[in-house]
Amino acid sequence: MIDINTTYRFNFPIPIRFGAGVVKELSGYLKENNLKNPLIVTDKNVAELSFFKQICKDLGKDGIAVEVYSEMHKNPIKSDVLEGGAQYHETNRDCIVGIGGGVALDVARAIALRVNHTRDLFDYDDLIGGDKYVTEEVPPFVCIPTTAGTGSEVGRSAIISEDISKKKRILFSPKLMADIVFADPILTMELPPFITAATGMDALTHNMEAYLAKGFHPMCDGIALEGIQLISESLELATNRPTVESRAKMLLASLMGAVAFQKGLGIVHSLAHPLSSLLDTHHGLANAVNLPYGMQFNYEGFEDRFDKMALAFGLGTNAGKRIIDHLFSMNKQLGLPTKLSEIGVKKEHIEELSILAVADFCHPSNPKPVSKEDFKNVYQKAL
Ligand SMILES: NC(=O)c1ccc[n+]([C@@H]2O[C@H](COP(=O)([O-])OP(=O)(O)OC[C@H]3O[C@@H](n4cnc5c(N)ncnc54)[C@H](O)[C@@H]3O)[C@@H](O)[C@H]2O)c1
Ligand SMILES: [Fe+2]
């Protein structure tokens, strides 16, 4: 509800070039901005894909001296970022271009921070007020997403884990926003079905959790509902019978989810993060499995919000309760697991998972409070 005695800050992001073929504008953009020595940050898989090689080749033809950094873990860690920062300086770079999924883009953003910020990387952790140390210049930074899930390209944060404990830390500053995003659905055409499905469910989780999150942000709410509708129309198609149109809709919905979740996330992301820390589970997959259970937890007391989401899902009026079954069916249709036991979680993991979940940074914005006991119960149900 609007509180007329309060004032609000609404932040919206960055220039986005969207559409089939926009990646070809990269070289012109760099030249216009007098940038000739990009550090291209990607992961090892993407570095081998033909579209990536083509991007590097095109840049080379235009006289741009490409240097690639691709050393990163599946759930990226601090030393990945430090190495990339060192390579930036050793090879005299003048900007950073992140190309890839959320992992590559988060590492690229963290390297952009690292370049001129020399304190311990986790001194910049947002949860301990680290953004106050982000005072130096951040190099020019371009993002090119190649998955449709995290929406990291329009974000201002990077999620990087500690080297040993694997605890996820969040580096945040408005200065870490990309200068421009080239969102080209053609780059996502070859995503395998499993990654399409898992990353797509991450985008759905962002839109749903943002819509339900505490706080007043009707702009984010509107974007989140439209994002849910786009995913509803296109995720199954993009996964099982991809077309440029379904890929384009998913890419948009993932950008929209990330714009919307500046409002906050919730219980599902807090259930999911510990699975990546403890068992190295892919972020989207961890969200996909937990999503119906987290929404079940949230339903009571928020029926009107669920009814509105049900309209976006195309489930009809007063159908909020049906969303939970619908999410289970979506996972099945997409070939994703519906139980934690199917992704290696065992009863004896639940205590440690619950400790990590309650310490996670996402659930404070969940519409209802979540205790450690609640996390245990939800994990047990999902097992
Ligand atoms: N910064 C943020 O706002 C934010 C938000 C949510 C999640 N995240 C982070 O994002 C990460 C997850 O990102 P993700 O889900 O995109 O996964 P990812 O980056 O790990 O990509 C998944 C897999 O797909 C491959 N891949 C990427 N593009 C491809 C393409 N076009 N064709 C074929 N294969 C391709 C990658 O090599 C990788 O193996 C996690 O580390 C998570 O913490 C960040
Ligand atoms: Fe996510």
- Asked whether residue 13 carries a pLDDT value surpassing 80, the answer given is no
* pLDDT confidence tier of residue 2, bands split at 50, 70 and 90: low
Whether residue 4 is predicted with pLDDT greater than 90 in this model: the reply is no
What share of the chain has pLDDT > 70, as a percent? 98
CA distance 22 to 178: 16
Residue to mutate (ligand 1; options 43, 80, 103; most atoms within 8 A of CB): 103
- Nearest atom in ligand 1 to the alpha carbon of residue 258 is 3
- Each residue of 245-289: pLDDT tens digit? 999 999 999 999 999 999 999 999 999 999 998 999 999 999 999
Q: Looking at 60-64, 166-170, 209-213, 310-314, which range is the least confident one?
A: 166-170
pLDDT of residue 165: 87
- In angstroms, the Cα distances linking 304 to 246, 260, 299, 323, 338 are 29, 19, 9, 12, 26
Helix (H) or strand (E) holding 295: helix 283-299
Query: For the segment 156-197, what is each residue's pLDDT rounded down to a tens digit?
Result: 999 999 999 888 899 999 999 999 999 999 999 999 999 999
Answer yes or no: is the C-beta of 101 below 6 A from any ligand 1 atom: yes
In 67-132, beta strands by DSSP E: 67-69, 95-100
pLDDT digits (tens, 9 = 90+) for 72-123: 998 899 999 999 999 999 999 999 999 999 999 999 999 999 999 999 999 9
Residue 9 pLDDT > 90: no
For residues 360-382, average pLDDT: 97
pLDDT > 80? residue 10: no
pLDDT tens digits, one per residue of 315-365: 999 999 999 999 999 999 999 999 999 999 999 999 999 999 999 999 999
Which ligand is located closest to the Cα atom of residue 194?
1
In sequence order, the 6+-apart residues with CB closer than 8 A to the CB of 381 are 293, 296
Instruction: Say which amino acid occupies 298.
Output: N
For the Cβ of 145 lying below 6 angstroms from any atom of ligand 1, the answer is no
b/e sequence 90-125, b meaning 16+ C-beta within 10 Å: eeebbbbbbbbbbbbbbbbbbbbbbbebeeebbebb
Tokens of 346: 């065992």
Ligand 1 probe mutation, 177, 209, 277, 283, most atoms within 8 A of CB: 283
pTM: 0.94
Q: How many CA atoms lie within 13 A of 200 on its CB side?
A: 34
The ligand minimizing its distance to the Cα of 101 is 1
pLDDT reported for residue 335? 97
Ligand 1 pocket residue status of 208, Cβ below 6 Å: no
Kindly write down the DSSP assignment for every residue of 35-66, as one continuous string.
---EEEE--HHHHTSHHHHHHHHHHHHTT---
pLDDT at 5 exceeding the cut of 90: no
Rounded Cα distance, 54 and 48, in Å: 10
Measured from the Cα of 43, ligand 1's closest atom is 37
Give a three-class secondary structure readout of 144-162: EECCCCCCHHHCCEEEEEC
- Is pLDDT of 372 > 90? yes
Average pLDDT over residues 291-297: 98
